[in-house]
Structure 1
């Protein structure tokens, strides 16, 4: 799962390994359209952690080629990332619901 600032406010399920190419696809399919849908135009700053897939050359090039302003982020700083605190709460809430398959897991996450 990944948090995504989608207009519907729902997370997006990704069913493949997290690699730099996948990050590029995610950015391509979601980031700029979400900014347009939210009427941000180019007035936003994109924040992501320093996970290797986010700092890979292909990811950095995509952000630069699409003129995305990126917030510089210190290494080893998950405590500064607000979404990290929410993931724990989501995991606990979903765990209490005992989803038995992927569809139930996705439904539970979206409902929470």
Structure 2
């Protein structure tokens, strides 16, 4: 579930793949492959995400545990999923509001 968590963090902070890739010191194509689950992020990459977004590395690791340990405590998995859904909803709502603002005609006085 890394790909979902990392992409949601990027979208929540309104960053393009290119912007974030530059900030993390990686190529946009590599970032795209991580977000599309074609590549697994290294511990070094996860550490860069944690530092960039000022969150504990352990929080990112929680999302990885879901895919690697099917016997993980259901409550932790439930909470992780709900947190991601909430962040996805906020990011999507912000993007919708931004799109609506861009569509409105400019007012002239």
Q: TM-score range by the shorter chain?
A: 0.3 to 0.5
Structure whose CA Rg is larger: 2
Per the normalisation by structure 2, the TM-score is 0.35
Q: Higher helix fraction: Structure 1 or Structure 2?
A: 2
Per the normalisation by structure 1, the TM-score is 0.34
